[in-house]
Amino acid sequence: MLGAFANAFRTPDLRRKLLFVLGVVVIFRLGSQIPSPGVHVDNVQTCLNRVEDDGLYTLINLFSGGALLQLTIFALGIMPYITASIILQLLVVVIPRLEALKKEGQSGQAKITQYTRYLTLALAVLQATGIVALARSQQLLQGCTEPLLHNQDSKLTFLVMVVTMTAGTAVIMWLGELITDRGIGNGMSILIFCQVVATFPGSLWAVRQSQGWGTFAIVMVVGLALVAAVIFIEQAQRRIPVQYARRMVGRRMFGGSSTYIPLKVNQAGIIPVIFASSLLYLPAMAAQFNQTSDSGWVQWINDHFVRGDHPLYMAVYFALIIFFTYFYVSITFNPKEVADNMKKYGGFIPGIRAGKPTEDYLSYVLSRITLPGALYLGLISLVPLMAFAAIGANQNFPFGGTSILIMVGVALDTVKQIESQLQQRNYEGFLR
């Protein structure tokens, strides 16, 4: 991995791309530290030092690199874009118009991307309004009595903060697309990676300060083992062999080649974890908006679903991840479409007839391989919750859950793209 980066910096074209990505990342991180207009910075820092658990906003705060609870101009981070992308992916399966656009190729994909941008801005307005409203009502940071805004009741301050955070989301979208076009790798993924990595040293140091060097050493050993396991599973795939028959087109012979369909063990990626976390936020959010109520259900949710260390919460979280893994794989990989395309181009799986038998075989293999992938996602996601219950670490536990999946996945994908670019520029022929 380090060798790939060293070779990339020796190539002028790749060096320019990598330096461009680093420059965009610096701008991105700088924006994540600049407070929005009207924020009382001293009070926010005082409350953050006092509040140990981010509770309800753990996932959003993770994707913003800690900028959310500091109310910076990039407070919303990349989360509105992720949510919009997921919604559009689901709607493509449901709405025939979007499905037709997807099949149109590059022009249709450009229109879907434009719809994603519009939806991102709409979601950013909603999220910014909710976050600023919670900051005004002193509910953003639990247990904090100091005012987070200079003018708590000013409508102008409220409007300016909402507009600023929404504009920050638009800038983040633009920066991500710049990285995709002019840099290396997927821009949005790299920005998410940077935000997660930004919180990593602080989370590790918090474990050292609260638990001592002995627990810190154990966490590091367990963390390295988890990284190795995640790399192993993320790289694992089931390769289904495909043979293409020879066919005559005019005077030329085409086909006769053999290839394979790679089915990854973790076919769904990190999306099921986001789905499950978002769904479990709903009861906690409903309870938070009814803190003044004396209802028993509010206290029950606060006891079981807010902190995340309760066995019931872990069981529901694990079950939701398994369910959403199967659900997401079923809508993103269509065995019938793959079987039809293979039949159209003269491809077949050795020992399996083309058409319906191929579709049934792909469905069978996919369902079998999705189970270990779902269990893997569930167990990795429970690591920070179990650490929280075992050693009292913060829920932003560095090794495990969403953070480690993002770090390893984006790092592997970026290194693969760098290596592929290096192979194009440093291909060794027959002679040396």
Q: What is the pLDDT of residues 181-225, one digit of tens each?
A: 888 878 888 888 888 887 777 777 777 777 778 777 887 887 788
pLDDT at 186: 81
pLDDT at 171: 92
Residue 72 has pLDDT above 80, yes or no: yes
pLDDT at 400: 61
Helix/strand/coil (H/E/C) assignment for every residue in 72-137: ECCCCCCHHHHHHHHHHHHHHHHCHHHHHHHHCCHHHHHHHHHHHHHHHHHHHHHHHHHHHHHHHC
The answer to which of 108-117, 247-256, 349-358, 409-418 has the lowest mean pLDDT is 247-256
> Which structure tokens are listed for 156?
């102008």
pLDDT bin (cut points 50, 70, 90) of residue 255 is low
Higher-confidence position of 310 and 250: 310
Higher-confidence position of 391 and 161: 161
Q: How far apart are CA 275 and CA 287, in angstroms?
A: 20
Q: How far apart are CA 106 and CA 43, in angstroms?
A: 49
The CATH number covering residue 304 comes to: 1.10.3370.10
pLDDT, the chain, mean? 79
> Which structure tokens are listed for 168?
């920050």
74 lies in the same domain as 161? yes
Residue 428 has pLDDT above 50, yes or no: no
The residue among 64, 119, 60 whose CA lies nearest residue 86 is 119
Counting residues of the chain whose pLDDT is more than 70, the rounded percentage is 81
What are the beta bridge partners of residue 247? 254
Q: Report helix, strand and coil shares of the chain as percent, to nearest 5.
A: 70, 5, 25
The per-type count for the chain, helices as H runs and strands as E runs, is 16, 5
pLDDT at 83: 83
Counting residues of the chain whose pLDDT is more than 90, the rounded percentage is 7
pLDDT at 330: 85
227 lies in the same domain as 344? yes
Is 422 inside a domain boundary?
yes
Distances (CA, A) of 48 to 42, 65, 146, 159, 413: 10, 14, 11, 24, 34
Distances (CA, A) of 358 to 69, 197, 247, 264, 364: 51, 43, 21, 18, 10
Angle, CA of 393, 233 and 273, to the nearest 5°: 50
164 lies in the same domain as 247? no
101 lies in the same domain as 36? yes
Is 83 inside a domain boundary?
yes
Asked which of 168, 183, 198 is the last residue of a domain, the reply is: 183
pLDDT at 42: 82
Residue 336 has pLDDT above 90, yes or no: no
- From the centroid of its chain, how far is CA 252? 46
- pLDDT tens column, 133-174: 888 877 777 667 777 788 777 888 889 999 999 999 999 999
How many C-beta atoms surround the C-beta of residue 385 within 10 A?
Answer: 22
- DSSP for 154-174, please give it: -HHHHHHHHHHHHHHHHHHHH
For 400, list phi and psi in degrees, rounded to 5: 130, 165
Residue 180 has pLDDT above 90, yes or no: no
Average pLDDT over residues 243-266: 74
pLDDT at 61: 67
139 lies in the same domain as 177? yes
Is 108 inside a domain boundary?
yes
92 lies in the same domain as 231? no
Would you call 139 helix, strand, or coil by DSSP? coil
Q: Specify the pTM.
A: 0.77
161 lies in the same domain as 219? no
229 lies in the same domain as 282? yes
Residue 67 has pLDDT above 60, yes or no: yes
Q: How far apart are CA 305 and CA 391, in angstroms?
A: 19
Q: Look up the domain containing 91 and give its range.
A: 32-183
104 lies in the same domain as 161? yes
pLDDT bin (cut points 50, 70, 90) of residue 410 is confident
Residue 292 has pLDDT above 60, yes or no: no
Is 197 inside a domain boundary?
no
Number of domains making up the chain: 2
pLDDT bin (cut points 50, 70, 90) of residue 431 is very low
Residue with tokens 């990795």: 380
Average pLDDT over residues 308-322: 81
128 lies in the same domain as 244? no
Asked which of 183, 198, 219 is the last residue of a domain, the reply is: 183
Is 193 inside a domain boundary?
no
Residue 341 has pLDDT above 70, yes or no: yes
153 lies in the same domain as 254? no
pLDDT bin (cut points 50, 70, 90) of residue 429 is very low
Is 37 inside a domain boundary?
yes
